[in-house]
Structures are given as C-alpha cells and as structure tokens.
Amino acid sequence: KQVQKIPPPILEWLKSLEKTAISLLEIHPESRKIETLLETARICFRSIGKQGDEEGATTEFSESSIQQLQNGKVSQVKGWQEEEFKTAQNLIKIAQQLLRVDETRVRPLRIAQTFCGAFSRKSPSGSVGFI
C-alpha cells in the first residue's frame, strides 16, 4: 500500500495545531482529563504529520489512545481561562475528526480529483457533475 505525501499546507496546519497544544500543556501541566486528551490530540497531530515517514503513525499512537480520544469529552476546568478551554476543546474536536478520516473514505475523492483534473485540462470551459 503506497502512502501519499501530505501536502505542505496541511503539514504546516498540523504543526501549528501541535504547537498550540504544547503551549497549553506547558501552561497547564496537570494530569486531569482535559490535559490527557490534549496530549493525545497533540500526539495525533504529530502522528498524522509523520505518516509518510518510515516510522509512521502507529509508533506513537496506540489503540487505547485512539479510543480514549474518540470517546473523550471535556467540560470547563478550574484554573483554565475560558479562551484556553475553548482552544483546547477545539483541538480535541479536530483530532477526533481527523481520526474519522480513513483511506476508504479518501480513496473515492482521490479518484474524482484525478478525473476532474484530467477533464479540466482537456476542457477548461467545461464543468463536471456527479449523479
């Protein structure tokens, strides 16, 4: 199975998400549920960014971590500013959504992208529709 390279803008986005998570974890080094889920989200961003490497995503991201993140919900915690909490909550949600994107869902989009790209080069003024 060939792993496709992740486009540079997506890699930069993943790195920025990871950096934001790291910043929040430095401010809040506790081990409550929110910090644990945020650390798992950080690992998720890093692992997805490394998928094209030899080590791949599975070296850092265990099945139990995936389940913990998928089932994790957080509520406001003492000591967190509202804006920090919203940012952490958003990072956790993004990581949860990224876990739902798998090859079986992405493959049809790649096929459509190839077809649409070839069609648009041959017929720049045409349009493509799917029924």
Residue-level pLDDT at 40: 94
Please write the tens of the pLDDT for every residue from 66-121: 888 888 889 999 999 999 999 999 999 999 999 887 655 555 655 666 666 666 66
SS3 category, 96? helix
pLDDT mean over 44-49: 88
Residue-level pLDDT at 109: 59
Q: What is the rounded (10 degree) CA torsion for 58, 64, 69, 73?
A: 180
126 confidence band (pLDDT: 50, 70, 90): low
Residue-level pLDDT at 120: 60
36 confidence band (pLDDT: 50, 70, 90): very high
Residue-level pLDDT at 8: 87
Closest residue by Cα to residue 21 from 1, 7, 41, 3: 41
pTM (predicted TM-score) = 0.71
Please write the tens of the pLDDT for every residue from 3-26: 567 788 988 999 999 999 999 999
Place of tokens 């919900």: 73
Locate 122 and state its tokens.
């041959």
Closest residue by Cα to residue 39 from 47, 8, 80, 97: 47
Instruction: Tell me how far CA of residue 112 lies from CA of 1, 41, 91, 116, in angstroms.
Output: 19, 30, 30, 6
Locate 10 and state its tokens.
């997506």
